A and B are shown apart, each in its own frame.
Chain A
Amino acid sequence: MASSINRLVRKIREINHRYSKPHIEMTPMVRLSLMALRIYLLLIVGLIVYKFVVTLSTGAIQ
């Protein structure tokens, strides 16, 4: 079990290393799009978390 987890961690590190740098040309348009995407995701994840907390606190889960 421990060796399997170690292998998985090693594999993930290897993947992170292999893709450490983006290979697409970082034009202003690409940077702007990625920034907009970050803001969008922060907002949407915030909404989901809020809804989750409200649902849990009111016990509305079926």
Chain B
Amino acid sequence: MDLFSWLYYKVRKYWKAIRLYLVIAGPGLVVMVADNDAGGITTYAATGAKYGFNLIWFLLILIPVAYYVQEMTVRLGAVTKRGHAEAIFDGFGAFWGWFSLIDLMIVDWLTLVTEFIGMTSALSIFGVAPWITVAGVVTLMGIIVINGRYWTWEKIALLFCTLNLIYIPAAFMVHPSVSDIFKQGLIPNFPGGFNGELFFILMANIGTTIAPWMLFFQQSAVVDKGMLEKDIPWGKFDTLVGSVFTVVVAVFIVILTGAVLKGVAIDDAAQAASILMGTNHYVGTFMAIGLFDAGLLGAICISLASSWAFGEIFGWAHSLNQNIKEAPWFYITYFFTLITAGLVVLIPGAPLVLITLFVQVVAVTLLPAALVFLILLLNDKKHMGEYCNSLTENLIGGFIVIAIVILSTLYGVSVMFPQLFH
């Protein structure tokens, strides 16, 4: 075989693999990028502003954490063909099922409110009135889902995912010191010593990496996409690509705010965008666009997570491959959640700060339960067969789950009783 033939063969082989990946890609990538939602962007912006580049190493550790938890939902969904809510009902009975479903509904709705807070505050920087943002977002999200095809929805969501990369050019535009990033960011260190404030930031970063809705969303998306056992390796690869993507974006946000806003107290990402606008108009604009996109992606996924879960349990048609006539309750739940959450933001004097904090608190009642159920279901040989967790997977997954449960609980408690950690 000459060199030309060999090259041709290799290119064709890799192109085929890429095309196959593009067919399977979706749930893992979308859920991971959507994890960088409005709350996540605020956490990363605050991390950079407070500690500069010093905690980049910690964000990199979160790649395997996110991957190992989410890949379990791929296997569970592809093997059982059931969403996470239905799997909990079936596996653990009605009590735990209702607990998870109602808790999911509350957490999702509150998180959705925070996404609208992020989106309205991002666009208010450009002078867009909140009611226009809310109306525009609801209309846009209606158009995205109403076409009656999962494939179209997923590709549009992936398009919004690419917009999340806007933080990368923004970080380059502020000309951060590369040697400082490597020296300060890649060697594990605790800037200022391991104190309560640092612990709070670390916990907040973990809290934004794994959210309860992500487990429900990805498993339901795997089922709605029609993934089978043979697709599991690609589904896992998709999840890995998503984990790397989301952390890379988070790192660039930290670099951006660490380079320009170090020492500035940041309460939310919109405030960071406003300040950045004063130093570099384009960077501030990129930050605001990124925040809006993050809120939108979060809203797209979270509202679907609830609708899928209700559809699974109540036996309603619940697929994006069905139109409004075929799955009316699925779409009613979707729009009801979306519109009511959007309206809350428009209520004058609504306790939005309290809602934002309350999300973290309520999440600690659902996340540990959902994670424990996930591990137990993945050990159910009767249903999972050869895709059951191996001993190594149990050790890694178990360690990660225990660590997340402890740290997210401490985070929730610290939100309720801030004096404990300061």
Q: A residues within 8 Å of B by Cβ?
A: 11, 15-16, 19-25, 29-30, 33-34, 36-37, 40-41, 44-45, 47-48, 51, 61-62
Contacts and interface: CB of A to CB of B under 8 A. Distances in A.
Interface string B363-389: 011001100100111011111000000
B242 interface: no
Task: Decide if the interface of chain B is mainly helix, strand, loop or mixed.
Answer: helix
B23 to A, nearest CB: 33
B89 interface: yes
Contacts, number: 67
Contacts of A36: 372
B317 to A, nearest CB: 15
B333 to A, nearest CB: 13
B93 A25 contact: no
A48 B93 contact: no
Interface of B: 89-94, 96-97, 313-315, 351, 353-354, 361-362, 364-365, 368-369, 372, 375-377, 379-383, 405, 409, 412-413, 416-417
Contact of B94 (A20, A41, A44, A62): A20
Contacts of B94: 15-16, 19-20
A62 B361 contact: no
A45 B380 CA distance: 29
Contacts of B91: 22-24
Contact of A62 (B315, B351, B369, B376): B351
Residue of A16, A19, A47 with most partner-chain B CB within 10 A: A19
B364 A19 contact: no
Contact of B372 (A21, A37, A48): A37
B351 A19 contact: no
B297 to A, nearest CB: 28
A24 B377 contact: yes
A16 B93 CA distance: 8
Contact of B92 (A11, A34, A40, A51): A34
Contacts of B376: 24, 29-30, 33
B372 A41 contact: no
20 contacts: A11-B314, A15-B89, A15-B94, A15-B313, A16-B94, A19-B94, A20-B94, A22-B93, A24-B383, A25-B380, A25-B382, A30-B376, A37-B368, A44-B412, A47-B413, A48-B362, A48-B416, A51-B416, A51-B417, A61-B354
Contacts of A51: 361, 416-417
A37 B383 CA distance: 23
Contact of A15 (B92, B96, B314): B314
B350 to A, nearest CB: 9
A51 to B, nearest CB: 5
A35 to B, nearest CB: 11
Given A24-B377, A24-B380, A51-B417, A19 B369 contact: no
A37 B97 contact: no
Given A19-B93, A24-B91, A29-B376, 16 more contacts: A11-B315, A15-B94, A20-B93, A20-B94, A22-B92, A22-B93, A23-B383, A24-B92, A24-B380, A25-B380, A33-B372, A33-B376, A34-B92, A40-B405, A51-B417, A62-B354
